[in-house]
Amino acid sequence: MLRGKRIILGVCGGIAAYKSAALTRLLVKSGAEVKVIMTPSAHDFITPVTLATLSKNPVLTTFSNADNGSWNNHVELGLWADALLIAPATANSIAKMAQGICDNLLLAVYLSARCPVCVAPAMDLDMLQHPATLTNLEKVKRYGNLIIDPAHGELASGLIGIGRMAEPEDIIQHLGHLFTTAQKLAGKNVLVTAGPTYEAIDPVRFIGNHSSGKMGFAIAEELANQGATVQLVSGPTNEHTNHPRITINHVTSAEEMYNVSTTLFSTTDIAVLAAAVSDYKPTTKATQKIKKKDSDLTLSLTKTNDIAASLGKLKHKGQIVVGFALETEDERANAIKKLESKNLDLIVLNSLNDTGAGFGYDTNKITIIDRQHREKSFSLKDKRAVARDIVQAISEFQ
């Protein structure tokens, strides 16, 4: 899966740098051509000779070679690579990546690279959980880079927690997934819906739900990372993205989301309907604020257009429509019923009965079901990891 791929391995100055030797060996054994760039402080943890021997290429650290005066062209290196893998990525380097600082060769290559960038953080758990690090990681993610989540275990400090660099074998799997999925999704036009919709009662009040939009935005970014061009139709949410392959269409109501989605669908290869769309709206919207009275207020509600069902009817050969089912009872049966009745290709089921899943959480737990009722269940994961699972399922369906 990596045969013939050109990989730049960036090694930063942390104790996990010792794993870069095994990682380099695995990359080479997988058939990749590997060039290693070390930050200056990485030399304190592993020697360039070790990585040069394993990669079969000279190890680079500085912009120029003092011995012969030659120039290590960061632009050429960035254009040469099929992927840039930074492992381990320290808190210091992640902070510089987030701010666009390039005070060493590796960071200059990072800013010049046009290829996918994978980042494998490694640091002590308190450093990882510090607000500054979390903010920097979020920025690096939003730039379109793939974060290979650190693992839980014993750290160099002796503490137990999340912060260990992912094992080299797991990193190789992530890279393989990146190339396999990217080959199938590159150039695809994808429609993603995200967030809630708000249905106005009067100029002040509305009917809505607790959807944060995190899942939909994570899916959109993962698809874009794999080379797809994404039209993201988002209801009101605090989420945002600056990914260059994502166009955001902001809407408020179910009707607005329906109109934009059905218009975009004709030029869409894949539609992923992750939004929590209101099923009902007030029959009439009051033009003035409704005053509180002693008597009860009765609202008349009208059913909204079903976006998933509508796109399922409009779908032609070659288009894929993925729906979502958030359930509280008879979860599997209800999800399959929705899959069949709306002519969907895949449905992503999650249950509000699962702790840590559903609205507002940074995690989710899903089961993906296809038209043959084959299903694959996943453990509770960060929503970005869940997004990768969903995108992988879509790429395998094609």
Distances from the Cα of 89 to the Cαs of 58, 66, 325, 393, in angstroms?
21, 27, 37, 28
379 φ/ψ angles, rounded to the nearest 5 degrees? -75, 170
The upper half-sphere exposure of residue 305, i.e. CA atoms within 13 Å in the direction of its Cβ, equals 15
- pTM, whole model, 2 decimals? 0.67
Residue ranges and CATH numbers for the domains of the chain are 6-182 (3.40.50.1950), 186-397 (3.40.50.10300)
129 Cβ neighbours under 8 A, 6+ residues apart: none
pLDDT of residue 68: 66
pLDDT of residue 357: 78
**Chain CA centroid to CA 3, Å:** 25
Residues of the chain where predicted confidence (pLDDT) is lower than 50: none
pLDDT of residue 398: 66
Q: Name the nearest CA neighbour of 248 among 259, 229, 232, 267.
A: 232
Q: Distance (Å, rounded) from C-alpha 29 to C-alpha 11?
A: 19
CB 39 within 8 A of CB 46: no
Query: Is residue 238 annotated as a catalytic residue, yes or no?
Result: no
| Catalytic position from the list 209, 249, 259, 305 | 209
Q: What is the DSSP-derived secondary structure letter of residue 226?
A: T
CB 262 within 8 A of CB 249: no
CB 322 within 8 A of CB 344: yes
Q: Distance (Å, rounded) from C-alpha 218 to C-alpha 185?
A: 16
pLDDT of residue 142: 74
pLDDT of residue 108: 96
CB 9 within 8 A of CB 89: no
Decide: residue 121, CB within 10 A, 0-12 exposed, 13-18 middle, 19+ buried.
buried
pLDDT of residue 381: 81
Give first-to-last CA distance, the chain, whole Å.
18
